Amino acid sequence: MPVETIKWENGKVKLIDQTILPHKFKYIICKDAKSLWHAIKTLKVRGAPAIGIAAAFGVILGIKDSKAKRFDLFFKELRRVTKYLASARPTAINLFWALARMECVAKNSNRNEISKIKKILLKEALKILDEDKKSCRRMAKYGSGLVKDGDSILTHCNAGGLATADYGTALGVLFEARKQGKSMHVYVDETRPLLQGARLTAWELIHEGIDTTLICDNMAASLMAKGKIDKIFVGADRIARNGDAANKIGTYNLAILARHHHIPFYVVAPLSSFDFRVKTGADIPIEERDGDEVRKVLGRVMIAPRNVKVYNPAFDVTPNKYITAIVTEKGIFKRPYSNALSVIARSRRRRSNLKREIASALRASQ
Ligand code: MRU
């Protein structure tokens, strides 16, 4: 059973504090947009889909006490909240996607009383959460077909239940394959500097009874050279129109190693992680984080000279040519992604005006 990473409970957001896992399991309560922003910024809630869902609820927290009587005044307040939440982290597109969707729904409900609009917005945030659950299951179904009984799999960072509302993306594929009776061995990159692999992925896999081995990031090449990896599954924080995929720093290394060793490299991500405005990965903004994350281990033990300069990008971009396929809730896509993705984009637009407005609001929100 997946853990419940995010809940809406009694008018508040309840989140698992991912910074203290695996040794402590604690929920934190966010009562306002400020504490929610802080939870995203400090990675208490993390992983692209989970950030998007949290932000949608953050909008509710930010506008729930609004005294505005007119829509234009209410919308101004809402825009202030979405802009503020959007400033928490720059790379995962799901954050901006969810905020833009909330803005769109507010605009489309402008004929209603403000109290009714607040209810409509809450319904939308709950819908975003529910849709993520469903797309996790669909990605898992599609992706599990790529896993063979006895496979040895490598994963990076955490693309599991903690990063989503349900099964996870890359890990969801493994959970589903296992449910189908396939056995597998999973190697987990520790994922320096914040150790999402060691702390979160290893915890989730062990919890599910999957045979798991933790490795340091710099051990992947030697494992591949020894023929110990059959497939690689990772998540994504933002995928450009051409299929270039931003994910946790170190993913690109793995993709190049995989190509050299003829190992399939799969990205698993929902459509909410695609950014159709971005043509190639070169245009994806990459978050740079505090140098102390590298100078110290888990913010506690200083392991380098205090004044050493640090380069600490949180993500890198894997060029599409190194990606064997992208698994989504709409199926598995291969290069050239532009064709497949434009088919998805067209079908999204056809389905409703809302989708078109989301695209334009997305443009405006960044
Ligand atoms: O900095 P994080 O921990 O938010 O980075 C998360 C990742 O890079 C995940 O691999 C990615 O969001 C995919 S999660 C479904």
CA–CA gap between residue 93 and residue 82 (Å, rounded): 14
Same fold, 6-137 and 140-352: no
329: CB partners within 8 A, 6+ apart: 134, 135, 138, 139, 142, 270, 271
Displacement of CA 366 from its chain's centroid (Å): 18
Distance 111 CA to ligand 1 centre (A): 38
Amino acid 2: pLDDT = 74
19: CB partners within 8 A, 6+ apart: 42, 43, 44
Residues with CB under 6 A from ligand 1: 43, 46-49, 92, 157, 159, 163-164, 169, 196, 235-237, 247-248, 314
Domain ranges of the chain: 6-137, 140-352
C-alpha closest to that of 129 among 34, 266, 259, 270: 270
Topology annotation, domain 140-352: Rossmann fold (3.40.50)
CA–CA gap between residue 156 and residue 177 (Å, rounded): 18
Distance 317 CA to ligand 1 centre (A): 13
Q: What is the CATH number of domain 6-137?
A: 1.20.120.420
Amino acid 365: pLDDT = 46
Residue with tokens 């996790």: 136
Amino acid 264: pLDDT = 98
CA–CA gap between residue 232 and residue 84 (Å, rounded): 36
- What positions carry a catalytic annotation? 237
Q: How far is CA 202 from CA 5, 112, 190, 287, 336, in A?
A: 16, 48, 9, 25, 34
Distance 258 CA to ligand 1 centre (A): 20
User: H or E segment at 235?
Assistant: none
Amino acid 352: pLDDT = 53
Answer for the pair 69, 77: CB distance below 8 angstroms, yes or no. no
Closest C-alpha residue for ligand 1 atom 14: 159
Atom number, ligand 1, closest to the C-alpha of residue 49 = 15
Residuewise pLDDT in 10s, the chain (366 residues): 678 999 999 999 999 999 999 999 999 999 999 999 999 999 999 999 999 999 999 999 999 999 999 999 999 999 999 999 999 999 999 999 999 999 999 999 999 999 999 999 999 999 999 999 999 999 999 999 999 999 999 999 999 999 999 999 999 999 999 999 999 999 999 999 999 999 999 999 999 999 999 999 999 999 999 999 999 999 999 999 999 999 999 999 999 999 999 999 999 999 999 998 999 999 999 999 999 999 999 899 999 999 999 999 999 999 999 999 999 999 999 988 766 666 566 656 555 555 554 555 455 445
Amino acid 258: pLDDT = 98
Q: How far is CA 181 from CA 153, 161, 184, 213, 255, in A?
A: 16, 20, 10, 20, 28
CA–CA gap between residue 241 and residue 111 (Å, rounded): 35
CA 266, 283, 95 angle in degrees (round to 5)? 70
Amino acid 337: pLDDT = 75
Atom number, ligand 1, closest to the C-alpha of residue 234 = 10
Q: How far is CA 111 from CA 71, 105, 114, 266, 357, in A?
A: 8, 12, 9, 45, 17
- Amino acid identity at 271: L
Residue with tokens 């110990």: 228
